[in-house]
Structure 1
Amino acid sequence: MKNTHSNIKVIVSDLDGTLLNSNHQITPETKAVFHQLYQNGYTIIIATGRHHIDAQAIIKGLDIPLYLVTSNGARIHSPNQELLFAYDIKSEIVASVFQLDIDPTITTVLFKEEVWLTSKTNKKINSFQRDLSYPPEVVDFSTLRDYSAIKLFFTHDSHEVLQDLKDQILETHSDYLCHAFSLPFCLEFMDKSVDKSVAIGRILHKEGFTFENTIAFGDGFNDEKMLDAVAKGLIMQNAPDTLKNKLKHLEVIASNNDNAVADYIAQNILR
């Protein structure tokens, strides 16, 4: 084992574009490596932008107990699936966002506890779900009474359109909301207090570890603070160049379609 990894006790990984291949699946190689990690006593954290119901359906494929950070940190579930932390965006904040002049070609989604409400059917977003355990419901947002949500989500084929929307929303809501681009075509807003790195910090404190005991893998801008906070942050080769340039001091490994997370762990942590 290399000296740089001798103090590592906690493994953190994003899902889409990182642990999952481009078919949003966990490969047998990845499952085998994570079983070894668990058997060797490592604390494992999956940290994703996905909703917890959606993410739980995926991590069943790993078949080991682990911590689950979802909606970019708005929810934390324990290895026995107990809810440890939950924070929503207040209804009046979301309602005031909807009063803005939002481009109608943008798909708008409110992620709630048991359902996700969407302005239109979007096949690109639906393709991220292998089983619709967390079904979308097309609604007219002007008819809602309760706008409270785990996450406010926008998607559009043009990153520039979403950049303009981000600026428009933050101009009046920067005191209440934080944002992340989980993918260039996915813009997400959470309560200002929510971030993957904050949620991971809560788990580390509970387990008696620090970020110095932690290694993390990610590919999106919602992984940025997490990757920068840990002792060893690793960026996927398929990550946007803008993220790689922003975190030039971090190592870039192979892509999510090359089992890069599993290979790195096998060669550097489990060796």
Structure 2
Amino acid sequence: MYRIIASDLDGTLLSPENKITKYTQKIIRFLTRKGFYFILASGRHYIDVNEIRNLLNIKSFMITSNGAQVYDLDNKLISCNYLDINVSLELCKLKFLDPDIITQIYSNDQWYVNNTKIENNFCPSLSSLKHQCFDINSLDFRKISKIFFTSHNFQKLRNLESKIIANLHSVVNVNFSMPSCLEVTSKKASKGCGLKLISKILKISLKNFISFGDGMNDQDMLSTCGKACIMKNADPRLKRLLPHLEVIEDNKNNGVAIFLYNMFIKKNTCIF
């Protein structure tokens, strides 16, 4: 029986306005009270994921920065995998001077960017972190959990993805969280790796996990669980790679919450 529920945030659990709806809150809180474990799995920084967990008012595991950091039910960091210092420097040099791409970095509780052009998909309102511009010659490249590149020039990002894979595939994971955001983490960091760690801690098989996602950075998480669902609004490439998975309603219409209600609550409506 599925007792562990893992969900991506942006494009999945969150509405298009990047909010947790009242209905979704109600469903998640109810299932938590009934003994289900929740895992919030996101490319977002820990600080932002923790704010969402606090809004839900539940205890949950958190997989942040695409698996670079994993937190337990008591908000304790139980795993961290940083990018190699030299790899981080090499990544930052790739498009530092390209006016069509923003190079962004999560380092500890800092958020660094090389430019803030809105036309390059810079969205500071989505995070409570305060960004600051960095100098590539003076930045401390230790303890970088994620480097990501944003742009509305999708072809440039796809070309960049190919270049990173060709040169660094043995030491990094490269995924699109959305068409305008290319994310890079250590090879040891992924949402799927985070789920495997939590599975060991709980001593519950991954066959008893159910997961939800919409982006290419969710692929290994969705492939890892006993049951997985893809959002209707998901990246078409993800749907093509995992054609056997169930496609559910989009995030605009509370897709995850409605699925959970129908699967776990509907037949017991007298207690909801």
Shorter-chain TM-score range:
over 0.9
Alignment partner for residue 231 of structure 1, among 221, 226, 232?
226
CA-to-aligned-CA distance 1:65-108 (integer Å, 9 cap, x gap): 00000011111111221111111102111112334465332100
Structure-2 residue corresponding to 1:126: 123
1:74 aligned onto 2:68:
yes
Q: Residue 217 of structure 1: which of 207, 212, 215 is its match? A: 212
CA distance in 1, matches of 2:61, 2:16: 23
Instruction: Give, in whole Å, the separation in 2 of the partners of 1:76 and 1:122.
Output: 31
Task: Quote the sequence identity (%).
Answer: 31
Change over 3 Å in CA distance of 1:145–1:267 after alignment to 2: closer
Q: Secondary structure at the match of 2:115?
A: coil
Q: Deviations over 1:140-169 (max 9, x none)?
A: 223324354100110110221101111122
Asked if the contact 1:94/1:148 (under 8 Å) is kept, the reply is no
Paired with 2:257 and 2:183, the residues of 1 have a C-alpha distance of: 28
Range with bigger deviation, 17-26 or 221-230? 221-230
- Structure 1 stretches of 4+ with a deviation exceeding 6 A read none
1:4 is matched with none
Higher RCO (CA < 8 A, seq sep 6+):
1
Q: Superposed, which structure 2 residues align to 1:1-271 within 5 Å? A: 7-100=1-94, 103-123=98-118, 124-127=121-124, 129=126, 132=128, 134-146=129-141, 148-271=143-266
Alpha-carbon distance in 1 for matches of 2:199, 2:185: 22
For the aligned residue pairs, the C-alpha RMSD in angstroms reads 1.5
Whichever residue aligns with residue 225 of structure 1, its letter is: D
CA distance in 2, matches of 1:145, 1:58: 29
TM-score (norm 2): 0.92
- More displaced 10-residue stretch of structure 1: 142-151 or 21-30: 142-151
Gaps of 5+ in 1: 1-6
- Verify the 8 A CA contact 1:47 1:69 in the aligned structure 2: yes
Give the distance between the partners of 1:218 and 1:34, measured in 2 at CA.
16
C-alpha distance in 1 between matches for 2:149 and 2:52 = 22
1:141 is paired with a residue whose SS is coil
* Alpha-carbon distance between aligned partners in 2 of 1:140 and 1:112, rounded to the nearest angstrom: 14
Name stretches of at least 5 consecutive residues in structure 2 with no aligned partner. Answer: 267-272
Aligned residues: 263
> For the structure 1 residues 108 and 234, does the alpha-carbon distance in structure 2 shift closer, same or farther, using more than 3 Å as the test?
same
TM-score normalised by structure 1 residue count: 0.92
